[in-house]
Amino acid sequence: MPNPGSHSYDVKRTRLRAEYEDQGVADADQAANEELQRAYPPNAVGERAAGPRGGGGGVEDDGGLHARSTAFSGHTLMPARFSLDGGNTSPPIQWDEVPPGTAEVALVCEDPDAPGGTFTHWVVTGIPADVNSIAEGSLPAGVTEGRNDFGESGWGGPRPPVGDEPHRYFFRLFAVDRRLDLGPDASAQDVHAAVRGHVLAKGTLVGLFGR
């Protein structure tokens, strides 16, 4: 039985959603969610907040910021235009107003299901405290993009191995109480280290992608 918030649970929901879409169901995503909730009541989600391999469990509001996107819902497949081979366009991300005292917001996107271990797809720092969204394919003025694990600056879209179950992509937001002053060579590890002890609020959005 897959646990709510686990990788297998997310994959099952994706498959159910596709089945409902094939049947012509108007709101396939909602229908899949309802079926899974009946079969696997989410009574253990709080206990599994850390998720498999410490991946955050896909909890979309895990610390004061409700991370979301106009392009996909949490735990659903991301459109192909965001993938490395489908256009490599960075996705739109929105979040709630940050707490007083926030100096900046940082964002990292990581795939914990990559064959060689967690793979970084996006690092963004220096987001002003009065900004609460990133538009598709663009960034607010003055922010800094770090390096992804393709060895490039900016967004590096999903490209999981063909035949893998859909990988999970964790978009993690951190509202911090000090300027991080991280440059264009910053990695996700640099961000995680810099925000430690300075997080006022955080949020996570999980997207899926497979080939």
Is the pLDDT at 43 greater than 60? The verdict is no
Asked if pLDDT for residue 182 goes beyond 90, the answer is yes
Residue whose entry in the numeric block shows the structure tokens 């640099």: 190
Average pLDDT over residues 62-68: 86
Same domain, 106 and 201: yes
Domain-terminating residue out of 48, 64, 84: 48
Q: Are residues 82 and 27 in the same domain?
A: no
Q: Check whether residue 116 and residue 134 sit in a common domain.
A: yes
CA atoms of 139 and 168, how far apart (whole Å): 23
How buried is residue 196: exposed, middle or buried, by Cβ count under 10 Å (0-12/13-18/19+)? exposed
User: Rounded to the nearest 5°, which phi and psi values hold at 18?
Assistant: -65, -40
What is the mean predicted confidence (pLDDT) over 21-38? 70
* Mean predicted confidence (pLDDT) in 28-42: 65
Query: Does the pLDDT of residue 27 top 50, yes or no?
Result: yes
Same domain membership, residue 99 and residue 36: no
Give me the residue label for tokens 């300027």.
Answer: 179
Together in a domain, 128 and 158: yes
The Cα 19–Cα 35 span in angstroms is 12
Give residue 55's pLDDT band: very low, low, confident or very high (50, 70, 90).
Answer: very low
Q: Is the pLDDT of residue 61 over 50?
A: no
What does 103-133 look like in DSSP terms, one character per residue? Answer: -EEEEEEEETTSTTS-EEEEEEEEE-TT--E
The residue type found at 51 is: G
Write the pLDDT tens digit of every residue in 167-179.
Answer: 999 999 999 999 9
Range of the domain at 159: 53-209
Looking at residue 50, what is its pLDDT? 33
Q: 44 and 106 share a domain?
A: no
The reply to whether 2 and 87 lie within a common domain is no
pLDDT of residue 37: 64
Reply yes or no on whether the pLDDT at 32 is more than 80.
no
> What is the rounded average pLDDT of the residues 178-191?
97
Domain count, the chain: 2
Q: Which residue has the tokens 């994706």?
A: 14
Residues 121 and 26 in one domain: no
**Would the pTM of this model clear 0.85, i.e. be above it?**
no
User: 141 with 126, same domain?
Assistant: yes
The one-letter code for the residue type at 128 is P
Q: Which range has the top average pLDDT, 10-24, 48-62, 110-124?
A: 110-124
Do 117 and 35 share a structural domain? no
Q: Would you give the DSSP letter of residue 28?
A: H
pLDDT of residue 210: 96
Among 8-12, 18-22, 48-52, 80-84, the range scoring the smallest mean pLDDT is 48-52
- 176 and 101 within one domain: yes
Q: Residue 66: give its domain's CATH number.
A: 3.90.280.10
Please check whether residues 27 and 106 belong to one and the same domain. no
